[in-house]
Amino acid sequence: MKISEFAKRSGVTVKTLRYYDKIGLLQPSAKTDVGYRIYCDEDFIKLQQITTLKFIGLSLEEIDQLINEKNESIESIIDIQTRALEENKKHIEVVLMALNKAKKQMQNNGFLKIQQLIDITKITNMETRAKQRFNNASKQYVTDSYYWRSKTAEIINELVKPNMDDVILDLGCGTGKQIVELSQKIKLAIGIDISEGMISQAKENIKNKNIQNIKLYIGTFEEPNLNVDLHKKNITKIISNYALHHLTTIYKQKAIEKMIAMGGKSLQSIIIGDLMFFENPDNYRKEFSIVGYGPEVDLPSSVEELVNCFSNSGFTIEVHKLHPLVGVIVANRNKIYN
C-alpha cells in the first residue's frame, strides 16, 4: 500500500513516515520506479514497536538501536525505562504531598509559615529538575545507579541478621524485593512506600510468590502510615535503602527520630543504605551518574551528619563505606528495654 493509505490505517502522519524513512528508522518495504513508498503488513508491526517505545520515553536514536541493531531485548529496555519513570513518579508524589500539606495548613490556620513556603518552592524546583533529568536520563545512568541500589540492598539484608522473631519495617520499600528476600527468615515484614504504583507492583510480586507474612502500606517518612498503628507491630528492625537522600539533613533527622519512636522498646537496630558523602563530592563529579546522584535533585548528607542524627538516642553506630559517595550505616541499640 502507498504511504497515504498506510498513514491513514496506522494513525501516523505522512510527514512522520517520511521522516522515519529519512533517518532509517522505518523504511518502506519497497519503492516504485517513480519513487512511491510501498508498505506491507510487517511494517505495521515495526511501526507499533516504534510507537510503543516512543510512548514510554525512549528517543528515536535509542529505538533505532533497539529495533534495527538488536543489541538489547525490548524487555530489558522497557525495564530500565520503567525504573526511571517510577523514580520520576516518586518525585511528583513528594510535590503533591507538600502541596496538600500546605493546603491543609491554610485551611486550619489561614496562613503558611515562611519555612513551609521555602520547602514547597524547593521541592517544586527539585521536581522540575527531576523531570528534566529523568526525561533525558541515559540508559547508562539508570543501569549504573540501579547497581548501587542493588549492592546496598544486598549488604543491608546481610547486616540486618534476620531471625524468626524479627518484625522488619522497610521504609521506601519500592517493589518489595528486599522484604521478599527477608520474609523467609523472619516473623513479619512491613513495607511502606510513597508510591501507590510501587506498592501495587509489590503486592503483585508477593501474590505471585504466595508470601503470607508481608504487609504493605502507602506512606512517607514523615507520616509512615495513617491507617495502622505501627507502634503496636513490635518492630524489631528498620531498614531503608536509597530513599533518604531526597530529604535535607534536618528532615533526615526527623525521619530517624520517627523511626525510633515507631519501633519503641522493641526496636533493636536501624540500617540505612544510601548516598552519603565520605569525602568532598566535588572530587568525584565524573562518578555522580554512576552512583545515581543528581546534584540538582538529590540532597545527600555527609556521613558525620547522618551519624549525628542518632546522637543522644542510645545507639552504637557502624559505618560501611562502599564508595566515596555511597555507604551503609548500622545503628544498634545499646540496650534492649523490657
* pLDDT value of position 103: 77
* pLDDT value of position 156: 96
Please, are residues 244 and 255 in contact by the beta-carbon 8 Å criterion? yes
Position 189 pLDDT exceeds 70: yes
User: For 132-228, where are the E strands, in sequence order?
Assistant: 167-171, 188-193, 214-218
User: For 115-158, where are the E strands, in sequence order?
Assistant: none
Question: Using CA atoms, how far apart are residues 25 and 161, in angstroms rounded to an integer?
Answer: 52
* pLDDT value of position 331: 96
Give the pLDDT band of residue 78 (cuts 50, 70, 90).
Answer: low
DSSP per-residue string spanning 64-98: HIIIII--S-HHHHHHHHHHHHHHHHHHHHHHHHH
**pLDDT tens, residue by residue, 107-160:** 777 666 665 565 555 555 554 444 444 444 444 434 455 788 889 999 999 999
Question: Using CA atoms, how far apart are residues 152 and 275, in angstroms rounded to an integer?
Answer: 10
Position 292 pLDDT exceeds 90: no
Average pLDDT over residues 278-292: 90
* pLDDT value of position 141: 39
**pLDDT tens, residue by residue, 53-75:** 777 666 788 778 777 665 556 66
Percent of the chain predicted with pLDDT > 90 = 37
| CA quadruple 82, 168, 256, 226: dihedral sign | positive
**pLDDT tens, residue by residue, 242-269:** 989 988 898 899 899 989 988 889 999 9
pTM: 0.63
Give the pLDDT band of residue 45 (cuts 50, 70, 90).
Answer: confident
